[in-house]
Amino acid sequence: MADKDKIRIEAEALPEEWLKQATTLSEALPYMRRYADKTLVIKYGGNAMGDPKLAQLFARDVVLSRQVGANPIVVHGGGPQIGAMREKRKIESEFVHGLRVTDKETIGVVEMVLAGSINKQIVTEINSAGGFAVGLSGKDGHLIQAEKLHRTVRDPESNIEQVLDLGLVGEPSEINPHVLELFKHSDITPVIAPIGMGANGETYNINADTAAGAIAGKMKAKRMLMLTDIKGVLDADGNLIDRMTADEARRMIKDGVIRGGMIPKVETCLYAIEKGVEAAVIIDGRIPHSVLLELFTKHGAGTLISAV
């Protein structure tokens, strides 16, 4: 029997599922090489974080990305969990023009939930999946230096702008890359709670998307991945847009195609790209292994936004 015939017969005898797995790994090889020694910033939240099974799969995705040589940085949210803790402690929410105010009592809850229970849960999931994760907040190592977020609204009758005081809600003023650069040259995956520190030691609650965008920009990440609870950016007919340029994204915002809560997410992507990130991707975190699908397959798992 010729050697090639023997190989053919042995291949046909293998279970189909094994062959599919081998084919998948082979097809993923060029993408694995693409991200070797490159930084990936992953904003983690929504259903992907709230569903136990999806949380386990996400952790495995992070571990695998590290195993193939990438440098993942996880930045997580936790809005629902913070809300639940506020209710448990009977802390009343104050709103100004529909925006939640973070007072001194609330910031204590925010820090406890984000930098405490949620952060350590994610770290545990990654470590249980075979990785080596360390939890941080933006206050550690002066990682996220922050300043008070200023928002304005225009009175429709007087046309006068009014400055809103949202309390201890902040935005990054500077990202200190020193700690993250140390992790980059190790096997440690940092998991970051979006809490920043002001010039006078104040603790600020920062939107997780905003924090991820600032970190990705400072680290000149190869990719920023934003896990959401929808398929990605949709066109006027409700169909998923696989890819767009930054200019196309700005035009779609101006034309009202991109609207509502998707606007700040796309604007965060645009900010990161302006700061040197090669591309930002809004992906559906409800899909199992969405991170791997986006990074290591041809079709991806959401909407990729690039400079050109």
Supply the DSSP symbol for 115.
I
Task: Answer yes or no: is pLDDT of 155 > 70.
Answer: no
Compute the average pLDDT of residues 235-261: 95
Task: Answer yes or no: is pLDDT of 200 > 60.
Answer: yes
Q: Which two tokens stand for residue 35?
A: 């991200």
Which of 252, 238, 245 is CA-nearest to residue 273?
245
- Specify the higher pLDDT residue, 91 or 291: 291
Compute the average pLDDT of residues 216-223: 97
Task: Answer yes or no: is pLDDT of 121 > 90.
Answer: yes
In this predicted structure, what is the pLDDT of residue 283? 94
Which of 25-34, 116-125, 163-172, 212-221 has the least mean pLDDT? 25-34
Task: Answer yes or no: is pLDDT of 258 > 80.
Answer: yes
Task: Answer yes or no: is pLDDT of 23 > 80.
Answer: no
pLDDT more than 70, % of the chain: 90
Global pTM value? 0.88
Taking residue 247's Cβ as centre, other Cβ atoms within 10 Å add up to 11
- The average confidence (pLDDT) of the chain is 88
- Specify the higher pLDDT residue, 146 or 157: 146
Task: Answer yes or no: is pLDDT of 6 > 70.
Answer: no
Distance between CA 266 and CA 254 in Å, rounded?
12
Taking residue 99's Cβ as centre, other Cβ atoms within 10 Å add up to 14
Look at strands 151-154 and 189-193 and give their pairing: unpaired
CB 58 within 8 A of CB 125: yes
In this predicted structure, what is the pLDDT of residue 49? 87
Which residue do the tokens 């809490």 mark?
A: 195
Which residue do the tokens 């023009």 mark?
A: 97
Q: pLDDT tens-digit profile of 163-177?
A: 778 889 999 999 999
Q: pLDDT tens-digit profile of 50-72?
A: 889 999 999 999 999 999 999 99
Task: Answer yes or no: is pLDDT of 239 > 90.
Answer: yes
For 116-173, give the DSSP string: IIIHHHHHHHHHHTT--EEEEETTGGG-EEEEE--EEEE-TTT--EEEE--BSEEEEE
CB 172 within 8 A of CB 206: yes
Q: Where are the domains of the chain?
A: 34-306
Task: Answer yes or no: is pLDDT of 7 > 50.
Answer: no
In this predicted structure, what is the pLDDT of residue 91? 77
Fold of 34-306: Carbamate kinase (3.40.1160)
Distance between CA 197 and CA 170 in Å, rounded?
9
In this predicted structure, what is the pLDDT of residue 46? 82
Distance between CA 133 and CA 111 in Å, rounded?
19
